[in-house]
Structure 1
Amino acid sequence: MKIDKVINNNVVSAFDECGNEIILMGKGIGFQKHTNDVVCKEKIDKYLSMTDSNTEMLKKLMNEIPFELLQTSNAIVAYAAKELKQDLNEGIYISLADHLNFAIERSRRGIEFKNALLWEIKKFYHLEYEIGLKAIEMIEQKFHVKFPEDEAGTIALHFVNAEMNYDLEETVKTPVIIKEIINIVQYTYGCELETTSLNYERFVTHLKFFIQRIVNAQVYPIDDDSMIQMTKKNYPQANQCASKIALYVEKKLNYQVTDEEIMYLTVHIHRITRN
């Protein structure tokens, strides 16, 4: 593999065997190197695929972000993938490093940041929030910058985004929508839900992917209408509550919730409201 462009001493661009442009990172991988020099494979720590739409942006960011921060960011992503037990959207490597670079600069200037969604993030994305706390601990150890827990919340949203593959604007909306749906359930039943129960955790997880399906315009496939009718008959109050949620979603997101989605919401609502 040959170098196409030296971005800095630690980052170069090249083309893989299929002719796709990639970014290669590694300490000293670009030191005293030039176009068409052979890449030293032993120095490759990480490589990123590129598309026509993000090529120049990636090169610009790679040149602006200190290599030590890129390494730390990559370590955070690796830790997160292990904790979340899933592959993450490759864009997290760049978006997180770029965010951390800006956050460190902001902190060193004494600019405070308050995360208005911190409560919702801690409640609905607890594991991602814990990863955010680990991330700010790693940043403090490496760069001697102490972030508030608000920053852990923002980092958590980057991982939610990487898990669900939609943009950060939609990710930010998700905890607010989940909170409103939980409120609808509690108001309908006149009770506080047990937030530490397994059924509650399953319900919140279902809502996360419910919202993801809305964003991606996906629907549940189901062939037997009798399941829908049986759910309506067996769980009438839960079905009524699910219908209220469907109306809320229609107004909030301009999305017509299907009978199949209402059925699954009904089942989850029945489970979390049983005494």
Structure 2
Amino acid sequence: MKVHKILNNNVIVTLDKSNNELIIMGRGIAFKKKEGDIIDESLIEKQFSLNNKETLPRFAELLSEIPTEVITVSEIIINHAKSVLGEKLQDSIYISLTDHINFSIERHKQGFDIPNGFLWEIKKLYPKEFKIGEYALQIIKQRLNVELPEDEAGFITFHIINAQLNDTMPNIVTMTKVMREILNIVKYHFKFEYDEESLTYQRFITHLKFFAQRVINGNFSSSEDISLYEIVKEKYHQSYLCTNRIDLHLIQQYAHPLTDDESLYLTIHIERLRKELQHQSELKKA
């Protein structure tokens, strides 16, 4: 293993057997080294190999500027997120989350914490991801002795969602707004309270997450077969009327009329939710 590039005294870029760049970290690993020198592998503390070749140089640059202990904390949080969510996250999270945590700590030390205006929605709409954000605050406190406010758990949650959906941060914020608006329309249309622990509610939230992403990005989902749509429209008429209200709202606010496919799936999810909550209400009265 040879030195390909030296970023600082503790960070080196090398090449693997397939000639792909690897980032190697270790205290003093680049001391008195130059390109082409053999790397002392006993000094290697961390090794990064990102799939995205565009992300790797940016991450390497970030590593040369951010303290090693912050990078370690970010990696712990990302690995925990992957384990909890059971899915692959975009490589971009190594840059966005590490940079965010470092900047948040710097701001906090200067007494400048930023309030998160979407904290309530984040807790309600992304409970699993928000728990990862709370875990992140615990790790930051334990490893870096910095106690960040709960608002930061919300911002970290946005970075996790961003890495799941591979979208931009402003879009994630707008998606959250769209989800909140649709949930309110359904809630007030049927005049019920959600059971946020129910599987049906969680399925609805998951559907809304990807649906809201399509709305924001202007991606329309449609098919030529409208037979099932007509059946659902007639069979689940109450839920279909609610979907119509959502359609009108999306046209007015986002210039996104629902396609038949989108109306179909929204109506089915709303009907499941309506039936479950109606059943619970009847059990309480019995």
What is the TM-score with the length of structure 1 in the denominator?
0.89
Corresponding position of 1:36:
36
Deviation at 1:214, TM superposition (A): 3.6
When Rg is computed on C-alpha atoms for both structures, the one with the higher figure is 2
Corresponding position of 1:115:
116
1:132 alignment partner, SS class: helix
Deviation at 1:238, TM superposition (A): 0.9
Corresponding position of 1:135:
136
2:4 alignment partner, SS class: strand
Corresponding position of 1:7:
7
Q: What is the correspondence of 1:133-172 to structure 2 with a 5 Å cutoff?
A: 133-172=134-173
Deviation at 1:107, TM superposition (A): 1.0
Partner Cα distance (1:224, 1:272) in 2: 25
2:14 alignment partner, SS class: strand
Q: 1:23 to 1:221 in 2, by over 3 A?
A: farther
Q: What is the correspondence of 1:237-256 to structure 2 with a 5 Å cutoff?
A: 237-256=238-257
Does the aligned pair in 1 maintain the 2:10–2:30 contact within 8 Å? yes
Q: 1:89 to 1:29 in 2, by over 3 A?
A: farther
Partner Cα distance (1:21, 1:201) in 2: 41
1:7 alignment partner, SS class: strand
Partner Cα distance (2:56, 2:46) in 1: 19
Corresponding position of 1:260:
261
What RMSD over aligned residues (CA atoms) do the two structures have, in Å? 2.4
Answering whether residue 83 of structure 2 is matched by residue 79 of structure 1, we say no
Partner Cα distance (2:270, 2:130) in 1: 25
Q: Deviations over 1:141-199 (max 9, x none)?
A: 11111111111111111101111110111111122111100111122222223323221
Does the aligned pair in 2 maintain the 1:4–1:13 contact within 8 Å? yes
Amino acid of the residue matched to residue 246 of structure 2? I
Amino acid of the residue matched to residue 4 of structure 1? H
Find runs of 4+ consecutive structure 1 residues off by over 6 angstroms. none
1:30 alignment partner, SS class: coil
Amino acid of the residue matched to residue 261 of structure 1? E
Partner Cα distance (1:18, 1:170) in 2: 37
Partner Cα distance (1:214, 1:40) in 2: 52
Deviation at 1:16, TM superposition (A): 4.6
Deviation at 1:51, TM superposition (A): 6.3
Amino acid of the residue matched to residue 170 of structure 2? E
Corresponding position of 1:25:
25
Does the aligned pair in 2 maintain the 1:23–1:50 contact within 8 Å? no
- Residue range with higher mean Cα deviation, 161-170 or 58-67: 58-67
Partner Cα distance (1:133, 1:76) in 2: 10
Does the aligned pair in 1 maintain the 2:89–2:163 contact within 8 Å? yes
Corresponding position of 2:207:
206
Amino acid of the residue matched to residue 3 of structure 1? V
- Residue range with higher mean Cα deviation, 225-234 or 239-248: 239-248
Corresponding position of 2:194:
193
Q: 1:246 to 1:18 in 2, by over 3 A?
A: farther
What is the TM-score with the length of structure 2 in the denominator?
0.86
Amino acid of the residue matched to residue 109 of structure 2? R
Partner Cα distance (1:53, 1:232) in 2: 46
2:227 alignment partner, SS class: helix
Task: Return 5+ residue gaps in structure 1 as ranges.
Answer: none
Does the aligned pair in 2 maintain the 1:193–1:273 contact within 8 Å? no
Q: Deviations over 1:213-271 (max 9, x none)?
A: 34555555656422111110101121121122223223333334221011000000011
Partner Cα distance (1:252, 1:18) in 2: 50
Task: Return 5+ residue gaps in structure 2 as ranges.
Answer: 279-286
Does the aligned pair in 1 maintain the 2:50–2:56 contact within 8 Å? no
Partner Cα distance (1:33, 1:51) in 2: 27
